[in-house]
Amino acid sequence: MPKMARKCHVARASVVIFTAFLALLNIATSKSDRGGEFGDLLVVTVATDETDGYKRYMESAEQFGITVKVLGMNEEWQGGDIATSPGGGWKVNLLREELVKYKDQEDLVILFTDSYDVVFLSDADEILKKFKTFKSNLLFSAENYLWPDKSLATAYPPVSSGYPYLCSGLYMGYAPYMYRAVTYQPIEDLGDDQLFFTHLFLNERETWKIMLDNQARIFQNLNGAKDDVKPRFEGRNSLLHNTKYNTVPSLLHGNGWAKVALNHLTNYVPNQWTWDAGCIRCMSNKFSFNGLTVEDYPVVMVAVFVSVPTPFFDEFLQHIVEINYPKSRIDLFIHNRAMFHYRRIEKFREDIGPLFNSVKIIRPAEQLSDAEGRNRGLDHCIALECQYYFSVDADVQLTNPQVLMILMEMNRPVVAPLVSKPGKLWSNFWGDLNSNGYYARSSDYVDIVRREKKGLWNVPYIANVYLVKGEVIRRGERPNFEEEGMDSDMVICADFRNKGVFMYLLNLHDDYGHIVTTENYETTHLHNDMWEIWNNKEDWEAKYIAPDYFSFRQRDAANFTMPCTDVYSFPVLSKTYARHLIEEMEHYGKWSSGKNEDERLNGGYENVPTRDIHMNQVGYEQHWLYFLREYIAPICEKVYPGYYSKAYAIMNFVVRYRPDEQASLRPHHDSSTYTINVALNEHGKDYLGGGARFIRYNCSVIGLPVGHTLMHPGRLTHYHEGLLTTNGTRYIMVSFIDP
């Protein structure tokens, strides 16, 4: 953090640009107020660096037509480490030198503000109007905490209502008194400016007519008062309302430890976001790709971090490939700590790597910690002179190919797209921090995650996926992920906050992607993603449910395909699922004999046996029962109205038909209320013959498409047989439902 940020008692420093025009005049007064109804206002601040807070301050001043004169810009800070200890006397000494030229201008009002943690909320005319109601020569902001000498508390005049103690981050007065104030007594550069003005107030308040803005009519300090204020929306305008004292302040100061609270409030004020206008700030300072050739596109390093075995990893890699950005402008960095994914990443590099400008992989054998790997990524980005660093964890499915360009267009130092776990409030950002720097929920967190409020939000913590400008990485000391005992994302976010770098969360668009759950991921199967039907339902559906299943589900029963009486056909499983299920069963390999004796069944006897493997043999029965409840029962209730299925089945099995084993199945009834029979491979390609014949209706169904199911009554009316498979191998999945 720039050294001028301190408690406002601690926090302070200020900023501004002295325009060429005003330099010629050798005076900086608010453009709209020189000669205005309420007189002239000169705004002065001290700042040494153009931080993000500085830029925000200047934007708010410009918004209200206020010109600010900056002292100390690009100079080395001389006021000590005021973030943790007293200091800031250098500000007073700079101001003393500057105010000599105005000391005799009795009608001029001078306003001093810090800047890294200050924003304007109204124009100069409003500020002057309020100031003159105090009938004071000098007016200081007030706060709840006394700094730095708490022993002076008893010397303060009693306050019946309001904040009792002086804060020197915001103050104003007539020019002669402002000059007298800064020359009241000598102060060392390392001396404390707040203590300096505290003594002035306590000793001269009556003779000089010095007052405190106890009820925040002009100045609102946040430290110790966060719960007193909230945004108030009036059409397309957003104001700051002090609900405790029913005032509408004109300047907001995030003094002390209130920086996060200030960042939160400035998501709304001044006029940054309203219910009527939405995100006003989202339209400013944007970067445009219009007119750029591919060679002009910024160079991006996409940094992928694989920490643990992760479900739907193939899909994750495919989404990286599908990012809509010239691959010749992307350098790919992968830190893989999961040996489970080693071969897949190596194949990815072999197959896809040539598309990118370069590919660098840190393998598990290097045994780098997560933090070490992320620091290595930053170093690689610096070495490549990248213009952007795009960090993506393997648990993020970036389903929007435009996401990288969308983030670039926002033109912010650090910006993350909102991603969350589907159907949950778990996301990749925190809206607030507690006193220990850990997660706390902001008042708008739920609204942002649910996209009931859309915009660009200054937040204290982001993770999983984010874009950083290269200049942020290269500026000063490189950002750092390593700190013993702390999560690497918490460390880097604290690093950014301490350096005054703003982090933004973007949820302006409906979908950028989502986070998958990696906990409890089973890795002992051939196709482990099949087991993720509970943990990652959205990804499971995308991979394993037939693409047109849900549109079929919306149909009226009359519009379902009915190849035979009361026999319905519809798509339910994807071709990928069908293939994976076959491969899982063949990988398991313990097919039944096809004889009546079957030790897997109660009683040990099967009346109409098939060559099969039961779902419970491969540890999948509970997953399949969940599938029946979620995807089969709703259609059953639609096509067989009046029957409400429990979707329970004891018999769930994959059948294998082939001429040299069991090629057909004799006529029989199923031990079920209704049965589903899902085709797992392709008629005419994988096998010939086969199919089901419903004898009572003399109706056969042959060549059912892969992933489609037949649903038919089981126990009473639909006596049926399995037709002869004449060539190849036919696989079907069968469930006897509600036995």
Distance, in Å, from the CA atom of 651 to the CA atom of 734, rounded to the nearest integer, reads 8
Residue type, 331: D
Tokens of residue 18, six digits: 């002295």
- Smallest Cα–Cα separation from 713: which of 555, 565, 570? 565
**DSSP for 282-331, written as a single string:** GGSS----TT--GGGSPPEEEEEEE-S--TTHHHHHHHHHT-SS-GGGEE
**Exposed/middle/buried for 70, CB within 10 Å: 0-12, 13-18, 19+?**
buried
Q: Residue 648 — φ and ψ, nearest 5°?
A: -110, 140
> CA triplet 694, 702, 625: central angle to 5 degrees?
75
Within 64-154, residue ranges assigned H as helices are 89-99, 124-134
Distance, in Å, from the CA atom of 517 to the CA atom of 52, rounded to the nearest integer, reads 34
Distance, in Å, from the CA atom of 607 to the CA atom of 585, rounded to the nearest integer, reads 23
Distance, in Å, from the CA atom of 717 to the CA atom of 54, rounded to the nearest integer, reads 79
Q: Catalytic residue at 730?
A: yes
Q: Which of 12, 374, 376, 730 is catalytic?
A: 730
Spatial neighbors of 136 by CB under 8 A, at least 6 apart, are 173, 209, 210, 211
Cα atoms found within 13 Å of the Cα of residue 270, Cβ hemisphere only: 21
Distance, in Å, from the CA atom of 450 to the CA atom of 174, rounded to the nearest integer, reads 50
- Smallest Cα–Cα separation from 523: which of 339, 301, 739? 339
Strand 40-46 to 68-71 pairing: parallel
Residue type, 184: Y
Distance, in Å, from the CA atom of 599 to the CA atom of 407, rounded to the nearest integer, reads 60
**How does 211-238 read in b/e, with b if 16+ C-beta sit within 10 Å?**
bbbbbbbbbbbbbbbbebbebbbeeeeb
- Smallest Cα–Cα separation from 562: which of 684, 713, 366, 357? 713
- Smallest Cα–Cα separation from 694: which of 573, 598, 563? 563
Residue 609, H or E segment: none
**How does 543-577 read in b/e, with b if 16+ C-beta sit within 10 Å?**
bbbbeebeebeeeeeeebeebbeebbbbbbbbbbb
Tokens of residue 139, six digits: 């007016």
DSSP letter (8 states) at residue 632: I
DSSP letter (8 states) at residue 67: -
Torsion-angle region of residue 476: left (phi > 0), alpha (psi -120 to 50) or beta? left
Active site residues: 730
